[in-house]
Structure 1
């Protein structure tokens, strides 16, 4: 019999606009909350049934939120700066921590959300018990840019932008352009997470599909090469860029095993 999950919506004020968030609470909760950070085109709704199933599988409270400019959150004020990944960790992580009242959490990021999760751990080490990256990029790779170019062409086809409008409303075009223009920018070509990863002091699980359209296994290998901390690398066969949808059972099992073994561990 499945344990009941309580779902609640949240509206959170920030200095730049209001964030929408949602939480999934098991009837019997244990461990630190899991904070989900979405990808470049994502939002709470696009996690679909994963947060509820993650809460049920792990027994942890699960929190997901729409970044400013995405989903049901307010629009982003102005153009997205190239430092948006570090900015998300610096500006919004403390707001979420205060709103939900957790001392520590497990940060779980998909794609660029994985980079943001790394930045959260680097900037707030005492507040992060463990780090989980899924299909995340540690640097700018040719395959990443090639995948984005292909996606840009797909979205240029008639009716394709409406797919994003279903989730982002009138923010959809800005969501698409922020993703494409940032990652294809010459000024972003040297971006990497080397400095942030050097500051990580908590256990790391890195999940990656073997057929990921936006990055090779070099990324999870980089995430799990951090010295002095427990790391687990999980490559998923027959899986592309969205393991939590394409191989959800395997993702839930890997996360549950990781949290049972390392969820509360930290190094000095």
Structure 2
């Protein structure tokens, strides 16, 4: 396995700085293919990808980039609440700031969970600049299973000491991070949310990964991505919401093999 070099940067925006990290396979001055940009889940951040970005860079021979959305991880606090259009707005605001700062003319978007929805919105917004779209456990509408999983998580996080798990990664922003997830998704106004319009605008090759035991969304999401965006579906057996952590070898092989042909 080749070693991977990392570089941390802070990206200025009108609302605050965003933290980003770039991983480059060592000794590769011109990595093949478009850089892969990782978009994290509702409670996630760069550090919560753990060793996956390094493994992905090694497996694909590509630059891998991840960033903390405003309010998450090492990025600056978010002043206010998320709007119900936060998925689409991220594609047009935070993501574009990172893309411009890192001079990404073309990229492959890889999003996990709600980050998968954001990756779809990025692909829809950027046309040919998005060379490939990969979703993992993405939600593309407010499914009952998703909302029930969030309700159960709300009960769990109300127990003493549970918020400290998030403080390890988000510091004093942890309460905001939790609220941004739970309160937004359980808002009555979010019940009719879908990404159907964005899915219909995707033009890049697309790959939809999903676990058959995902507690936050059924495989219908992958089917919908395949139906509306022409994606290839891959359903991992006996796998939950985080395939890249539960079945990393399968995810890495599936993604690297597919990207070699796609972009």
- How high is the TM-score relative to the length of structure 2? 0.97
Give ranges in structure 2 of 5+ residues lacking alignment: none
Q: Which residue of 2 aligns with 1:4?
A: 3
Indicate whether 1:162 and 2:164 are aligned. yes
Give per-residue Cα distances to partners, 1:104-154, cap 9 Å, x unaligned.
000000000001001101111121001000000010100000000111111
The 5 Å alignment of 1:98-117 reads: 98-117=100-119
2:183 aligned partner: 181
Q: Kindly report which structure 2 residues correspond to 1:44-63, keeping only aligned pairs within 5 A, or say none.
A: 44-63=46-65
Q: TM-score, normalised by structure 1?
A: 0.95
DSSP 3-state at the match of 1:124: helix
Equivalent in 71, 78, 81 of residue 80 of structure 2:
78
- CA shift for structure 1 position 93: 2.3
Query: Which consecutive residues of structure 1, in runs of 5 or more, have no partner in the other structure?
Result: 264-268
User: How far apart are residue 101 of structure 1 and its match?
Assistant: 1.2
Q: 2:192 aligns with which of 181, 190, 193?
A: 190
Do the aligned partners of 2:70 and 2:94 also contact (CA within 8 Å) in 1? no
1:1-268 alignment, distance < 5 Å: 2-27=1-26, 28=28, 29-226=31-228, 229=230, 231-263=231-263
The runs of at least 4 consecutive aligned structure 1 residues that moved more than 2 Å come to none
Answer whether contact 2:35 2:62 (CA < 8 A) is retained.
yes
Query: SS where residue 225 of structure 1 aligns?
Result: helix
Indicate if the aligned counterparts of 2:207 and 2:234 stay in contact, CA closer than 8 A: yes
Q: Match of 2:42, SS? A: coil
Q: Distance in 2 between matches of 1:180 and 1:211?
A: 21
The RMSD of aligned alpha carbons is 0.9
1: CA distance between counterparts of 2:207 and 2:142?
Answer: 21
Aligned residues: 260
Distance 1:151 1:102 in 2: 36
